[in-house]
């Protein structure tokens, strides 16, 4: 096990074929104090300075309205359907003429797609790539990205292998449940503002966020810390502040995942989750944040591939394909007039049950404006064109969606310019003012849920023998990289060990012997929601090991760098602290809190059955001198 702990894991998540030299960890989110205005180095022609007030709820100018109508009139049926399609594109470097570049060029020039969904990459790669594709587009492209909890979610946490040198990127925040732990509208606003400034600087016009799911199910395998919390009022309040902050920087926002993914126990990337709640429950718990977002003027809403059987019966299909939810509830009842996105059309929650093409037609029939990430772009366009030709879908129905898409492009300022200034990226993305915001969120979110033996903060006796155990997936190469050195600097006799899903019973037995001779055990657990995993929890051997130590009354502090519900795996633990995410900013905040260098003020935005209610949390003032 010691050799394994010292070795660099060989398995890691590959986003693209040519991304084999990079590792990317899960991202995170949020914000803090007044921020400086965007640099005026960004040229007006690049559509940033002129769009600071564009976005949700902004009426189009007469000139923009004329542009929308004249552009719509000039499009052929196939081009109009192309506007409904947004394929996935990596944010990595791709040389002009490379296979990766040529694929996207064909989508833009030949299929005339309406926009692109950008994935993991670096800021300058984003900006350069998007400028190139915008130049080639007949109609300006609407660019979106899943930066739901900050720009670092897609432009950060990238490391070169094997050196593990950080490659920089956008400002990385903790997950938004950390923001829920602060309860601060100001921080939510500042997150949105930082996100807006950095996204617009690299050519992204719309964030697929905020997540407005109310995480009422501790077993939810995919939402978890992506939610602000389990209180609909808190989620609504922080969501509205996030939207206002993004709008102040000219960024369009998307509320997701309608009608609420918080009470599911199946990952919709894998299969179709079901919601048993009836309409009264939805109105009380799941729908209030979306109603609040509509009242705030949210630009778009993304629907979820979930079957609401409590409303539509046991034969219910995904809400994405449901006219009752997409049109009846959102358009007619809630009076939402913005863009309506499907979730990715390749996800198991829809594709496994309905195939690759039929869901595209059904989604448009139900009321969707944008078909997100279809399996094959050309086939998707031809499928919808064929449905119009056969009379199944009216062309006027396509026009309704295209008009909304073009209006969103005008709101994003794309009638005034579609390129970004590459020279300005370094003056906006991840500047110190933005990283201080992320640091403030991380520090103010640290939550001490339990401390029965008053172990936190740790005693200042530097002679104490600490056993620091990191539990993480073998592919998580940054787990402990920021936290461990800070602890070791205070306690030189610290022993660092690591466990993962491969750790054997005999290795845990050896660990138990080492734990017996330690004065205190600090356990760092990096367990977070991941797509296609299907569950969120620790491996049984690890959970049993920690519980056995706790039962024996061994002084032990468990820190969750991810799911707060991990406490259920070892309920006898007396000291339990939550950092919400595993990025370096959260690791540093947790270490400083554990050593007494920062006050602990966070409160649980969720309950942890059976012992901890929402709002629980122990306050600790800052106590020691700074760690050098």
| DSSP letters spanning 80-127 | HHHHTEE-EEEES---TTSHHHHHHHHHHHTS--SEEEEEEE-HHHHH
**HSE-up of residue 194 (Cα within 13 Å, Cβ side):** 36
Distance from C-alpha of 429 to C-alpha of 182, rounded to nearest angstrom? 24
Q: Under 8 Å CB-to-CB from 71, ≥6 apart: which residues? A: 139, 406
Q: According to the model, what pLDDT value does residue 269 have? A: 62
Phi-psi region of 360 (alpha: psi -120 to 50; beta: other; left: phi over 0): alpha
pLDDT of residue 432: 97
CB neighbour class for 368 (10 Å; exposed up to 12, middle 13-18, buried from 19): buried
CB 302 within 8 A of CB 343: yes
Q: Note the pLDDT of residue 159.
A: 86
pLDDT at residue 199 is higher than 60: yes
Mean pLDDT of 460-469: 90
pLDDT per position as a tens digit, 383-433:
999 999 999 999 999 999 999 999 999 999 999 999 999 999 999 999 999
The pLDDT of residue 36: 43
- Where helices occur in 326-428 by DSSP H, the ranges are 348-354, 358-366, 377-389, 395-411
Whether the predicted pLDDT of 175 surpasses 70: yes
pTM of the model: 0.89
Q: Which residues contact 298 (CB under 8 A, 6 or more apart)?
A: 56, 243, 253, 254, 255, 336, 338
Mean of pLDDT values over 116-144: 97
pLDDT for the residue numbered 268: 60
Domain boundaries, the chain: 62-417, 446-594
Whether pLDDT at 439 is above 50:
yes
| 23-75: pLDDT as tens digits | 222 222 222 334 444 333 333 333 333 333 344 456 799 999 999 999 999 99
Question: Quick one: the chain helix, strand, coil %, rounded to 5?
Answer: 40, 15, 45
Residues 526-569 have pLDDT tens digits of 998 765 455 567 788 999 999 999 999 999 999 999 999 999 99
User: How much is the pLDDT for 54?
Assistant: 41
Cα 430 to Cα 577: distance, rounded to the nearest angstrom: 28
> Is the per-residue pLDDT at 267 higher than 80?
no
Among 257, 269, 305, 434, the one annotated catalytic: 269
Instruction: Report the CATH superfamily, name and number, of domain 62-417.
Output: Glycoside hydrolase, family 3, N-terminal domain (3.20.20.300)
Q: How confident is the model at residue 625 (pLDDT cuts 50, 70, 90)?
A: low
Give the model's pLDDT for residue 275: 85
Computed over every residue of the chain, the mean pLDDT equals 88
Q: What is the pLDDT, as a whole number, of residue 535?
A: 56
Catalytic residue among 343, 421, 440, 476: 343
91-103, pLDDT tens digit by residue? 999 999 999 999 9
Structure tokens at 342: 């499907």
137 pLDDT above the threshold of 60: yes
Contact of 368 with 340, CB cutoff 8 Å: yes
Residue 170 has pLDDT above 70, yes or no: yes
Interatomic CA distance for residues 180 and 212, integer angstroms: 12
The pLDDT score that the predictor gives to residue 4 is 38
Which CATH number applies to 446-594?
Answer: 3.40.50.1700
pLDDT tops 90 at residue 438? yes
Residue 343 among the catalytic residues: yes
The mean pLDDT value for 512-529 works out to 93
Active site residue 476: no
Return the ∠ at Cα 436 (arms to 433 and 438), rounded to 5°.
120
The neighbouring-strand residues paired with 274 are 307
């Amino acid at each position: 096990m010691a050799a394994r702990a010292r070795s660099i894991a060989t398995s890691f998540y590959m986003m693209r074929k040519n991304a084999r030299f990079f590792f990317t960890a899960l991202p995170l989110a949020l914000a803090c104090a007044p921020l400086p205005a965007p640099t005026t180095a960004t040229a007006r022609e690049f559509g940033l300075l002129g769009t600071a007030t564009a976005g949700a709820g902004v009426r189009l100018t007469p000139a923009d309205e004329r542009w929308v109508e004249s552009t719509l009139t000039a499009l052929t049926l196939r081009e109009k359907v192309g506007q409904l399609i947004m394929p996935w594109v990596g944010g990595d470097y791709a040389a002009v003429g490379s296979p990766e570049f040529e694929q996207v060029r064909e989508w833009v020039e030949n299929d005339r797609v309406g926009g692109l969904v950008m994935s993991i990459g670096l800021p300058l790669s984003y900006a350069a790539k998007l400028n190139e594709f915008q130049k080639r587009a007949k109609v300006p492209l609407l660019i979106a990205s899943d930066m739901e909890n900050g720009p670092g979610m897609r432009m950060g946490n990238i490391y070169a292998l094997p050196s593990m040198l950080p490659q920089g990127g956008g400002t990385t925040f903790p997950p938004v449940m950390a923001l829920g732990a602060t309860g601060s509208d100001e921080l939510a606003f500042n997150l949105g503002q930082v996100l807006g400034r950095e996204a617009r600087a690299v050519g992204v016009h719309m964030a697929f966020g905020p997540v407005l799911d109310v995480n009422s199910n501790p077993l939810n395998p995919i939402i978890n810390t992506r939610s602000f919390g389990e209180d609909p009022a808190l989620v609504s309040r922080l969501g509205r502040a996030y939207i206002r902050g993004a709008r102040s920087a000219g960024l369009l926002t998307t509320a997701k995942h309608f009608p609420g993914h918080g009470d599911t126990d199946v990952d919709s990337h894998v299969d179709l989750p079901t919601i048993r709640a009836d309409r009264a429950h939805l109105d009380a718990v799941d729908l209030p944040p979306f109603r609040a977002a509509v009242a705030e003027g949210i630009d778009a809403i993304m629907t979820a591939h979930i079957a609401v059987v409590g409303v539509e019966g046991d034969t219910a299909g995904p809400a994405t394909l449901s006219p009752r939810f997409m049109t009846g509830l959102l358009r007619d009842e809630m009076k939402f007039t913005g863009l309506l996105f499907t979730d990715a059309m390749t996800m198991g929650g829809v594709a496994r049950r309905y195939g690759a093409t039929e869901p595209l037609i059904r989604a448009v029939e139900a009321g969707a404006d944008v078909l997100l990430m279809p399996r094959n772009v050309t086939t998707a366009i031809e499928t919808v064109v064929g449905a119009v030709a056969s009379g199944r879908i009216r062309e006027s129905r396509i026009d309704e969606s295209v008009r909304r898409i073009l209006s969103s492009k005008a709101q994003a300022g794309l009638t005034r310019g579609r390129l970004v200034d590459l020279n300005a990226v370094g003056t906006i993305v991840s500047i110190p003012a933005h990283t201080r915001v992320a640091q403030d969120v991380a520090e103010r979110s640290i939550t001490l849920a339990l401390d029965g033996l008053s172990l936190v903060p740790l005693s200042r006796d530097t002679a104490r023998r600490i056993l620091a155990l990191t539990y993480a997936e073998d592919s998580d190469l940054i787990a402990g990289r920021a936290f461990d050195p800070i602890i070791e600097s205070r306690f030189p006799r610290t022993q660092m060990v690591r466990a993962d899903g491969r750790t054997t019973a005999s290795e845990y037995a050896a660990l138990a012997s080492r734990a017996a001779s330690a004065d205190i055990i600090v356990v760092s657990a990096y367990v977070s929601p991941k797509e296609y995993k299907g569950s969120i929890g620790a491996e049984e051997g690890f959970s049993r090991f920690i519980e056995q130590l706790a039962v024996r009354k061994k002084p032990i502090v468990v820190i969750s760098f991810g799911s707060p519900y991990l406490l259920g795996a070892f309920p006898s633990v007396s000291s339990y602290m939550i950092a919400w995410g595993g990025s370096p900013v959260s690791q540093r905040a947790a270490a400083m809190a554990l050593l007494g260098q920062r006050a602990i003020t966070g409160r649980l935005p969720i309950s942890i059955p059976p012992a901890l209610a929402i709002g629980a949390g122990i306050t600790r003032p800052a106590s020691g001198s700074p760690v050098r």
